[in-house]
Amino acid sequence: MNLESILTAIQGYGAQEAEVFRVDSCTKIVVFENNTLKSLHSASETTYRLRAIIENRMGCYTTNNEKLLLPCCHKVVEMAKASTPDPYAILPAGQPIKPVENLYDETEVKLTEVLKNGYRLVETFRKYDTRLSVDSAMLQVSWHHLNIVNSRGVKAQESRSCSRYFLMGLAAENTNVSSFDYRINAAVSWSKIVEKIEEDALSLARDICQSLAARTIPSFTGYLLLSPETVSDFISALEYLLYARNVQEKRSAFAGKINQPVASFSLTLSDEPLRPGLPWSASFDSEGVPTRSLTVIEKGVLLSYLYDTYAAARENASSTGHAGGKMYSPVLKPNSSLKEMYRNISRGLLVRRFSGNISPVNGVVSGVAKGGWYIENGQLLHPVSQTMITGNFFQMLKNIVAVSEETEPTFSGYLPYLQINDVDILGFQEKP
Amino acid sequence: MKNGCRSTTVVRETSFRQNDRDMREILATIASGKAQAVQVRYHCRYCLRIGVENGRVTQLTATDTSGVGIRVLQNGIWGFSTTSDASLENLKKTFTEAKQAALSAQGRQQEFLLAGEPVTANLTVQQTKPLSRISLEEKLSLVRKTEEKMRQLSSKIVSTAASYEELLDTKIIVTSSGANVSYQDTKADFRALAFASDGTRLEYGRMTLSATGGWEELFRHAKPESVPEEAVRRAVEKLTAEPVPAGLYTVVLHPSLVGILAHEAIGHTVEADFVLAGSIAGKFLQKKVAAEQVSIVDDPLPATDPAASGVLLVDDEGNRTRVAVIIENGYLRGYLHDSRTAWLFHAKNTGNARAFTYRDEPLIRMRNTYVLPGVEKPEEIIAGTPSGLYLKGLGQSGQADANAEFMFGVDQAWWIKDGKLARPVTGVTISGNAFEVLSSVDKVGCDFLLDSGAGYCGKHQPAKVDAGGPHLRCQVKVGGNL
């Protein structure tokens, strides 16, 4: 069935408005566990998400079974009828969408090619040092074709491809076992990801081996230097605070703070979904609303929330193309080199991975620094163990002193290092 | 091992529907394909989600997905291919893809065989009042009432949300090892979330119920009316909580946190795939790793709570599930296995291979992981503690490493002063080495509760699990103010 005929079918069951979102996916994955190849996986699937509105009541139904599509057209209408009226339950109107360039790599990649490069990833890592061990690794290439239409004129399609890997390892020397650490990388193009494999595997191997000699430190208040992966935890907390639905439901501390300072002058945060050639980019969201560049915090001042169609309707505003409330490709404006940041740290802690909680509700930040390094007078002195970080997220935002020019790939896109002042760092070293 | 025995009370043999029988024949044809071993798993899932926030229905969604995952073992490597088209013709093609995938990696792997007890049965979990017989309107009405009640309970409540989720799974697993099983599984969650503010600070309280089974199983521990009251009470109480100074504390852990300790800090380290990768538990088998009072198991069907969220009647390789004894009287006794690691370790397969959807390959996952009860009355453990903290519920999240170092956020915490619960405290996280913490245990309660079933465990794919135990007293590092 083509999408228009599915729309017609939903409306035929009584829906006043309807939407069909189809995603065709094809994926090839190799998985390694405990240093050896575990499996090779190929998958293909088509899913349909249907939405129907009757008298301001919305229902949603998803299926991957084409044979069930017609019954599902009926079921989604029944779901809508069972709901309660909500004047903001609307579908977006159609808008022109400018395609983002280079989001799709047509290159055919065979499973044997994925396998060969999976071995490269794992073997490069392991050959660095006999103490190293791969906990798990994954190399994946996927292609997605997205099509969305609705009864209000939305009609959009885009093809996206993503090649990515994940490598998690540890080191062991007698009973001295390091923390887990990992690297990820992602690219639209297969060839671009392949060329990064050795560099990332070696860098992870070095970091893990160094963390074996970790020592406890005494407690102090000082600078925190967050790695890009740790910054992505901060970004997740910010996304919660910025999502307009959370603001409207009075569960975000950023409610009522537009044009007010929420962070230090050093923080300028924007979302850049239109940058060509990045796997996090997209020209429209899952409602078919065009995405756009959006500065949410500038020099510490809150400028905008993230809106989907529902949240926008509640304020008679426009959706920013953020269905789901997540940013595509967060960008933090740099104001320092990493070298300069180190130089300015008299006493501090580099945190590569944060095993803890950052509560965007009450602001409590508490957890363990993993792969952490003690810094004194600008020098990385030694890795640390049993070290916790504690503080308040809202205060930490105000204590950001520097954002690095250097960025690294993370689950949330390319992110920089952040330097934060006046953070309580808890060591469990016995006092002499 | 009081809770180590299997119960059969929730297992019900069912008659096959015609379409199930047809599917079983198709899968059997595929499983007989030429290869060292073949596992074919059909999985159909219906998922219903209802959400109400501040008086508005914000989620009313259903997802209906089905498909087949085929694993082909050839000389030490699994090829895995999945498809949403379960026709015989397409499954033959999918089988060929899986086999070709396995063959493409030949010559580089350590070969292994599969160990397990293949199940031939039609199984279904007990649903005292099946979820499918409760109308959508009735479920929505309960969620709306729960959300509305929270707004009425306190003037400090500024935002509320309630939700319901059900997973209705049908699986048919046929393997070349001899498994031929149909499995009907249902799991449900009911949640309430209240945000309270005193004008200067915002806190939240939540209450969740979870079950394997039907409507009565879901509300077996608490009536629906108590859910909003408890969420609101927790949120409002936190407004008065003060930060706690960091340090090493004597703590009494509620069963909800004991379960998290058993699952996150111990359970993951003894998953046999983690052990092969270098988990520290690999060096401790048959060694003393905890106080003598401490015994921990991973149980597919707890006799004390046969409606626990992690109930698993057959694993996703079609093998029988059995109790895995992890720690017995302080000694590490065994690991959690699938068919491959059981063969590699010369151990009994515990049936821990689980896959969340047909798209997922079975991995070693926990089911219901808990500490066995001791002899102390919980109130006497608190009364016998001059100074310390009483800790309850997992906060935002918890994590643990291969070296058994863990960190958990704590949802609710109170001072213990002179053997009595005193003021609430906030911002508590606990951390340490799990084996050291378990070695510091000096009191084990005689009570028992599985209480983490509303959450999902994440290990490349989600899994519904449960965890718990009795009250415990031990020493942990608490992260707080300097």
Q: How high is the pLDDT of residue A137?
A: 94
Query: Is the domain of B219 the same as that of B254?
Result: no
A68 touches chain B (CB under 8 A): yes
Domain boundaries, chain A: 3-211, 220-233+334-426
pLDDT digits (tens, 9 = 90+) for B142-161: 999 999 999 999 999 999 99
Fill in the amino acid letter for B326. I
Q: Do B280 and B390 form a contact (C-beta atoms < 8 A)?
A: no
Phi-psi label, residue A34: left if phi above 0, alpha if psi -120 to 50, beta otherwise: left
Query: Is the domain of B195 the same as that of B265?
Result: no
Q: Give the number of A-B residue pairs with CB atoms closer than 8 Å.
A: 230
Among A364, A385, A389, A430, pick the best mutation site for testing chain B contact (most B Cβ within 10 A): A364
Name the residue among A40, A111, A390 with its Cβ closest to that of B479: A390
Q: Does any domain span residue B3? A: no
Sign of the alpha-carbon torsion through B136, B142, B145, B146: negative
Query: Is the domain of B70 the same as that of B185?
Result: yes
Which of A127-141, A252-266, B5-19, B164-178 is the least confident region?
B5-19
Share above pLDDT 70 across residues of chain B, in percent, rounded to a whole number: 95
Which residues of chain A lie closer than 8 angstroms to B60, CB-CB? 58-60, 79-80, 82-83
pLDDT digits (tens, 9 = 90+) for B241-254: 998 888 899 999 99
Q: How high is the pLDDT of residue B337?
A: 98
With vertex at residue B281, the alpha carbon angle to CA B276 and CA B282, rounded to the nearest 5 degrees, is 40
Q: Please indicate whether, in this complex, the C-beta atoms of A135 and B278 are within 8 angstroms of each other.
A: yes
Note which residues in 132-161 of chain A have CB less than 8 A from chain B: 133-136, 138
Chosen domain end from B184, B206, B238? B238
Chain B: closest CA distance from residue A172 (Å): 7
Q: Where are the alpha helices (DSSP H) in A67-194?
A: 69-82, 111-127, 190-194
Name the residue among B144, B273, B396 with its Cβ closest to that of A357: B396
Query: Is the domain of B310 the same as that of B214?
Result: no
- Residue A138 pLDDT more than 60? yes
Query: Is the domain of B365 the same as that of B418?
Result: yes
Q: Which residue of B has its CA nearest to A422?
A: B482
Q: Do B287 and B332 form a contact (C-beta atoms < 8 A)?
A: yes
ipTM at complex level = 0.89
Which of A27-41, A82-96, A113-127, B64-78 is the least confident region?
A27-41
Query: Is the domain of B226 the same as that of B343?
Result: no
Distances (CA, A) of B168 to A26, B43, B64, B130: 26, 10, 10, 10
Name the residue among B59, B98, B479 with its Cβ closest to that of A366: B479
B161 touches chain A (CB under 8 A): yes
A75 touches chain B (CB under 8 A): yes
Q: Do B429 and B332 form a contact (C-beta atoms < 8 A)?
A: no
Among A42, A56, A57, A252, pick the best mutation site for testing chain B contact (most B Cβ within 10 A): A42
A173 touches chain B (CB under 8 A): no
Distances (CA, A) of A346 to A181, A210, A265, A377, B89: 27, 22, 21, 4, 68
Going by pLDDT thresholds of 50, 70 and 90, the confidence category of residue B5 is very low
A386 touches chain B (CB under 8 A): yes
Strands B77-83, A36-54: pairing is parallel
Instruction: Please tell me the distance from the alpha carbon of residue A426 to that of residue A367, in angstroms, as a whole number.
Output: 10
pLDDT digits (tens, 9 = 90+) for B430-482: 988 899 999 999 999 999 999 886 778 888 789 999 999 999 999 998 887 77
Query: Is the domain of B213 the same as that of B297?
Result: no
Mean pLDDT is highest, among A177-191, B235-249, B311-325, for B311-325
Largest CA distance in chain A: 79
Chain B: closest CA distance from residue A98 (Å): 30
Q: Please indicate whether, in this complex, the C-beta atoms of A39 and B77 are within 8 angstroms of each other.
A: yes
Print the SS3 string covering B347-408. CCCCCCEECCCCCCCCEECCCEEEECCCCECHHHHHHCCCEEEEEEEEEEEEEECCCCEEEE
Note which residues in 28-87 of chain B have CB less than 8 A from chain A: 53-54, 56-67, 71, 77-84
- CB count within 10 Å of CB A381 equals 12
Note which residues in 26-55 of chain A have CB less than 8 A from chain B: 31, 33-47
Closest CA to A428 of A220, A175, A225: A220
- For residues B79-102, average pLDDT: 91
Contacts of A20 (CB under 8 A, 6+ apart): A3, A6, A7, A10, A48, A49, A50, A148, A149, A150
Q: Please indicate whether, in this complex, the C-beta atoms of A177 and B109 are within 8 angstroms of each other.
A: no
Note which residues in 321-380 of chain A have CB less than 8 A from chain B: 355-359, 361-362, 364, 366-368, 370
- Residue A35 pLDDT more than 90? no
The mean predicted confidence, pLDDT, of chain B is 91
Among A60, A61, A64, pick the best mutation site for testing chain B contact (most B Cβ within 10 A): A64
Q: Where are the alpha helices (DSSP H) in A31-155?
A: 69-82, 111-127
Q: How high is the pLDDT of residue B11?
A: 44
Chain B: closest CA distance from residue A303 (Å): 22
Going by pLDDT thresholds of 50, 70 and 90, the confidence category of residue B17 is low
Q: How high is the pLDDT of residue B108?
A: 62
**Residue bearing the bigger pLDDT, A33 or B49:** B49
Q: Does any domain span residue B4? A: no
- Residue B43 pLDDT more than 80? yes
- Residue A312 pLDDT more than 50? yes
Which of A317-326, A383-392, B280-289 is the least confident region?
A383-392
Chosen domain end from B238, B254, B282? B238
- Residue A269 pLDDT more than 50? yes
Going by pLDDT thresholds of 50, 70 and 90, the confidence category of residue A360 is very high
Which residues of chain B lie closer than 8 angstroms to A179, CB-CB? 401-403, 405
Q: Which contacts of A195-198 are long-range, i.e. CB under 8 A and separated by 24 or more positions? A: A197/A117, A197/A120, A197/A121, A197/A124, A197/A165, A198/A120, A198/A124
Chain B: closest CA distance from residue A108 (Å): 16
How many domains, in total, are found in chain B? 2
Name the residue among A136, A175, A364 with its Cβ closest to that of B427: A364
Which residues of chain A lie closer than 8 angstroms to B80, CB-CB? 39-42
Print the SS3 string covering B69-113. EEEEEECCEEEEEEECCCCHHHHHHHHHHHHHHHHCCCCCCCCCC
Q: Please indicate whether, in this complex, the C-beta atoms of B401 and A63 are within 8 angstroms of each other.
A: no
Report residue A426 as tokens.
Answer: 């808890």
pLDDT digits (tens, 9 = 90+) for B381-407: 999 999 999 999 988 777 777 778 888
Q: Does any domain span residue B436? A: yes
- Residue A369 pLDDT more than 80? yes
Q: Please indicate whether, in this complex, the C-beta atoms of A58 and B60 are within 8 angstroms of each other.
A: yes
- For residues B67-72, average pLDDT: 95
B287 touches chain A (CB under 8 A): no
Q: How high is the pLDDT of residue B482?
A: 73
pLDDT digits (tens, 9 = 90+) for B188-232: 999 999 999 999 999 999 999 999 999 999 999 999 999 999 999
Report residue B182 as tokens.
Answer: 């149909």
Query: Is the domain of B178 the same as that of B41?
Result: yes
- For chain A, the C-alpha Rg in angstroms (whole number) is 24
Q: How high is the pLDDT of residue B15?
A: 47
Which residues of chain B lie closer than 8 angstroms to A63, CB-CB? 63-65
- Residue B332 pLDDT more than 60? yes
Q: Please indicate whether, in this complex, the C-beta atoms of A111 and B104 are within 8 angstroms of each other.
A: yes
- For chain B, the C-alpha Rg in angstroms (whole number) is 23
Instruction: Please tell me the distance from the alpha carbon of residue B192 to that of residue B161, in angstroms, as a whole number.
Output: 6
* Helix/strand/coil percent split, chain B, to 5: 25, 40, 35
Q: Position of tokens 């809106």?
A: A307
Report residue A342 as tokens.
Answer: 């180190």
Q: What's B281's DSSP letter?
A: G
Which of A241-245, B100-104, B189-193 is the least confident region?
B100-104
Provide the CATH topology of domain A3-211.
PmbA/TldD fold (3.30.2290)
- Residue B301 pLDDT more than 60? yes
Query: Is the domain of B271 the same as that of B358?
Result: yes
Which residues of chain B lie closer than 8 angstroms to A133, CB-CB? 277-278
E-only strand ranges, A199-334? 220-226, 269-271, 294-298, 301-302, 330-332
Query: Is the domain of B353 the same as that of B417?
Result: yes
Query: Is the domain of B350 the same as that of B219?
Result: no
Q: How high is the pLDDT of residue B351?
A: 98
Q: Provide the CATH number for the domain around residue B191.
A: 3.30.2290.10
Q: Please indicate whether, in this complex, the C-beta atoms of A366 and B401 are within 8 angstroms of each other.
A: no
Which residues of chain B lie closer than 8 angstroms to A388, CB-CB? 246, 429, 431, 477, 479
A69 touches chain B (CB under 8 A): no
Q: Do A415 and A408 form a contact (C-beta atoms < 8 A)?
A: yes
Instruction: Please tell me the distance from the alpha carbon of residue A281 to that of residue A146, in angstroms, as a whole number.
Output: 13
Which residue range(s) make up the domain with B311? Answer: 242-479
The mean predicted confidence, pLDDT, of chain A is 94
Fill in the amino acid letter for A289. V
SS3 A218: coil
Q: Do B236 and B158 form a contact (C-beta atoms < 8 A)?
A: no
Q: How high is the pLDDT of residue A432?
A: 45
- For residues A89-96, average pLDDT: 97
Q: Please indicate whether, in this complex, the C-beta atoms of B62 and A175 are within 8 angstroms of each other.
A: no
Going by pLDDT thresholds of 50, 70 and 90, the confidence category of residue B23 is confident
Share above pLDDT 70 across residues of chain A, in percent, rounded to a whole number: 99
Q: How high is the pLDDT of residue B109?
A: 67
Query: Is the domain of B322 the same as that of B414?
Result: yes
- For residues B44-50, average pLDDT: 96
Closest CA to B259 of B462, B44, B83, B411: B411
Q: How high is the pLDDT of residue A264?
A: 98
SS3 A173: strand
Q: Where are the alpha helices (DSSP H) in A83-180?
A: 111-127
Name the residue among A111, A310, A357 with its Cβ closest to that of B409: A357
Chosen domain end from B204, B238, B272? B238
**Residue bearing the bigger pLDDT, B384 or B12:** B384
Q: Position of tokens 């349909």?
A: A48
